[in-house]
Structure formats: structure tokens, C-alpha cells
Amino acid sequence: RKRKKQEYLPSLSATAQYYFQGQRNDFDFLKGGEDKFYKVGFSGIVLNIPIFNGFEKRFGKAQYGIELIQLKNTMENTRKYLSKEYSDALAQYKNSINIIWRQEENIKTAEDGYAICMDGYNQQVIPLSDLILAEGNLIEARLSHLNDFLQFKNAELDLRKAKGELLEF
């Protein structure tokens, strides 16, 4: 805006040139002699007073105002986007912590069930199929826990990224 406003102030500048010029019928510029070139020079002062510019001033101000509003909107949208990214990452992180806690409880329950089935099998009260089923449940609970732990780590990385602690390449 300042630059645009300064375009409408009067300006005063000086100019000067000095050079040699030669004109011949034949190409003999390189042959000796002092009188082959004319010395030419001029100097002057230029005064520029802007009077009318085809309404460029008015439309230029409006254009810069619109660009400023667009930049402010872009900045506000970026702030909102980053805030949303952070809140989503934080919610996912907290949710992942709760899921991990539940999965650890599931593992304890599956281990207890497996221990009971193992005792029953050792006492020959429970068939082998029930023991294998309890072992399968224990393995499934551990695999679910590992999968949820990986999701927790991903949520932790997303949270660090939203905070700006990680760089994207």
C-alpha cells in the first residue's frame, strides 16, 4: 500500500549521457584520424507529476485490500486447520491409551482362563480342545494388544507432528 501511495507523489530525477557517434559511406572507422566520430552528449532533469492514470489508483487500492483480506482468511483457515489437527490427534492419543488399558485387562483375563484350563487339563477334567481354545484366546488377546500398541504409537507420532515437534520431509 505504501509503495502504491508513493507512486502518486511528484518525482524529480536527473539524467545524462555522453557518447561518440560516427557516420560514413564506407566502413573505414578503424583507419586513423581524429575527425571520424562526433561527440554527442546531453543532460536533463525529469519532473514527473502524476495527474491522471485511468483510475488505476482507486482500483489498485481495492485490489491490495482484497489481497490483504485473502491473506488474512488464509491465515485464519490455517490456524483452524492446525487446531483441528491437534485436537483430533489428542483425542486419538487419549482413546488409544484407553484401548491399551482395556487390552491389558483382556490379556489378564485370557491368562487366567488359560491357567484354569491348564489346571483342569492337568487334572484330566477338561478336554484338550478346550485348552487349545483357551490358548487361542490368549494369543488373540496378545495380538490385539500389540496391534493397539502400534496404533497408540501412531497416535503419539500424530500428536507430536501436530505440536510441531516432528518435521515432514
What does residue 82 show for φ and ψ, rounded to 5 degrees? Answer: -65, -35
Per-residue model confidence (pLDDT) at position 162: 86
Per-residue model confidence (pLDDT) at position 84: 93
Q: Which three cell numbers stand for residue 72?
A: 488474512
Per-residue model confidence (pLDDT) at position 34: 66
Number of H helices, E strands in the chain: 3, 2
Per-residue model confidence (pLDDT) at position 168: 64
Residue 103 CB neighbour total at 10 angstroms? 20
Q: Which three cell numbers stand for residue 89?
A: 490427534
Per-residue model confidence (pLDDT) at position 166: 75
What confidence tens digit (pLDDT) does each residue in 39-53 have? 889 999 999 888 877
Per-residue model confidence (pLDDT) at position 51: 80
Cα–Cα dist 157/166, whole Å: 8
Per-residue model confidence (pLDDT) at position 165: 83
Instruction: Point out the residues of the chain with pLDDT beneath 70.
Output: 1, 28-35, 57, 167-169
Q: Are the C-beta atoms of 110 and 137 separated by less than 8 Å?
A: yes
Per-residue model confidence (pLDDT) at position 57: 67
Per-residue model confidence (pLDDT) at position 92: 93
Q: Classify 6 in phi/psi space as left (phi over 0), alpha (psi -120 to 50) or beta.
A: alpha
